[in-house]
Amino acid sequence: MKPIRLPEPPGSPPRGVPDIFEGGVYGVVKRAVIIGNGFPASENQSAGLVRALGLSEKQTLYRVTRPRGGINEYLHWLPVSLHKQIYYIIRLIYGYSQVLFTSRGSRVQSLTGENGGSVGLSSVLEADVKSIVKLAKGTAEKDGPLLVVACGRDTISIASSIKKLASENVFVVQIQHPRTQLNRFDLVVAPQHDYYALTAHAQEQVPRLFRKYITPNEPPSKNVVLTVGALHQVDFAALRSAAIAWHDEFAPLPKPLIVVNIGGPTSHCKYGTDLSKQLTNYLRGVLDSCGSVRISFSRRTPDKVANFVRKELGDHPKIYVYDGEEPNPHMGHLAWADAFIVTADSISMLSEACSTGKPVYVVGAERCKWKFAEFHKTLRERGLVRPFTGLEDMSESWSYPPLNDTADVANHVHEALADRGWRLRP
């Protein structure tokens, strides 16, 4: 059997000396709070960083939630607190009408409660600044400082308020660029392509009048850590566990095993069944050099895209199309694949695939624009990906230093904590 190639675990920074020295328990961070927004891609980034810091067993998840369904889908551009106030007022005026809060024949959707529970609007439990500040202050002497990790636009006000009210007891990391007032956080984690607006190429595209409205419009400050892609939970230990768990299913498959991950169109990477046709045609061109192919879709994949792929390729003896039923083979795919083909729209899927050091081919990058185009340019320049053309010999193997953004950010957290005289639990 061909050996499974797994990236080496990143080196861990020095953990220091026992708590009795260096300020006792107060200077030791032993627990973490994640402020989530209900979107798996965002919460996965926070969980990945907490995992890399060794605090997964001592993490608590809180969620900032918005009303959903009907008219609420047009209010997501508002700050979450204002959105909720408007939602409350409209429901009072219209007497909880089903019409305004139901989208296209579906039932009214209630808010999602803390840690995933679905509850009514009046009793929803979600991220609350006062309770988290009370936790941080009330237990600091016994349990030490609190690490707070947040990701996504809706979490910014919560995380910054916690920092303001409990600055002596918390270390706050905000993932994804908060746009303004970066000093509200101890550390900001942002992808390099967020700063695309500062490049000469971008400034040729954007009229001078509008440049000041594009954020970030200043170079990164000293508390900003730049990454190539998205943070995630795929590391050496996770891949090793997945390789064992999925051994019986994937070990017998003919090699090379090619995994195809299909996402969904975004505002910066627009496509429809046109990309499906391109992808299926290219896959037919490389099937002779493939041992087996496994295709999976994301939550964002439009039905018309998934249905087209199933219709065109679902009956081929070398191809298996994942039907969406549990258990999800995603981690098994990452551990056992010999190469990946990924649609260009998903920074998360590409970041995870590139963390394995295995060949990654991208389809549809030419359809991406603005900062997504800059992201793909960076991947190509670093030798992490190649365009998928349908002319490849998929048995050819090539490699690169795995993308280790999550481990790199974890090291920055260690350094920033040390600057404050704090450290993580050994």
How far is 179 from 277, CA to CA, in rounded Å? 38
Phi–psi pair at 104, nearest 5 degrees:
50, 50
Distances (CA, A) of 257 to 118, 136, 365: 39, 48, 23
Q: What is the CA radius of gyration of the chain?
A: 23
Average pLDDT of span 130-138: 94
**187 is written with which tokens?**
């550390």
SS3 breakdown of the chain: % helix, strand, coil, rounded to 5? 40, 15, 40
pLDDT classification of 110: cutoffs 50, 70, 90 = very low
Question: Would you say residue 205 has pLDDT above 80?
Answer: no
pLDDT in the model for residue 97: 55
Residue owning tokens 């190639």? 5
How far is 236 from 408, CA to CA, in rounded Å? 14
Q: Is 38 helix (H, G, I), strand (E, B) or coil?
A: coil
% of the chain with per-residue pLDDT over 90: 66
| 105 neighbors 69 (Cβ within 8 angstroms) | no
Q: Which helix (H) or strand (E) holds 149?
A: strand 146-151
How far is 314 from 141, CA to CA, in rounded Å? 59
Q: Which helix (H) or strand (E) holds 378?
A: helix 370-381
Question: Would you say residue 121 has pLDDT above 60?
Answer: no
Looking from the CA of 194 toward its CB, the CA atoms found within 13 Å total 23
pLDDT classification of 65: cutoffs 50, 70, 90 = confident
3-class secondary structure per residue, 174-213: EECCCCCCHHHCCEEEEEHHHHHHHCHHHHHHCCHHHHCC
How far is 362 from 384, CA to CA, in rounded Å? 10
Q: Which helix (H) or strand (E) holds 89?
A: helix 80-93
**Better-scored residue on pLDDT, 165 or 113:** 165
pLDDT in the model for residue 420: 94
Convert 56-86 to b/e letters by CB count within 10 Å (16 or more is b). Answer: eeebebbbbbbbbbbbbeebeeeebeebbee
Reported as a single tens digit per residue, the pLDDT across 74-105 is 776 677 767 767 776 777 777 655 545 554 44
Query: How many other CB atoms are there within 10 angstroms of residue 186's CB atom?
Result: 21
Query: How many other CB atoms are there within 10 angstroms of residue 2's CB atom?
Result: 12
How far is 258 from 62, CA to CA, in rounded Å? 37
Q: Give the angle subtended at the CA of 323 by the CAs of 320 and 327, to the nearest 5°.
A: 100
Confidence (pTM)? 0.85
pLDDT in the model for residue 358: 98
pLDDT in the model for residue 338: 98
Query: How many other CB atoms are there within 10 angstroms of residue 293's CB atom?
Result: 23
Which stretch of 28-37, 107-116, 247-256, 344-353 has the lowest confidence by average pLDDT? 107-116
pLDDT in the model for residue 95: 60
pLDDT in the model for residue 93: 76
| 241 neighbors 325 (Cβ within 8 angstroms) | no
Reported as a single tens digit per residue, the pLDDT across 337-374 is 999 999 999 999 999 999 999 999 999 999 998 899 99
pLDDT in the model for residue 353: 98
Average per-residue pLDDT for the chain: 86
| 276 neighbors 46 (Cβ within 8 angstroms) | no
| 342 neighbors 353 (Cβ within 8 angstroms) | yes
Give DSSP secondary structure letters for 282-328.
HHHHHGGG-SEEEEEE-TT--HHHHHHHHHHHTT-TTEEE--SPSSP
Reported as a single tens digit per residue, the pLDDT across 286-300 is 999 999 999 999 999
Distances (CA, A) of 172 to 167, 176, 258, 410: 9, 13, 40, 13
Evaluate the omega torsion of the peptide bond into residue 216 and state whether it is cis, within 30 degrees of 0: yes
**Better-scored residue on pLDDT, 221 or 360:** 360
How far is 263 from 362, CA to CA, in rounded Å? 12
pLDDT classification of 118: cutoffs 50, 70, 90 = very low
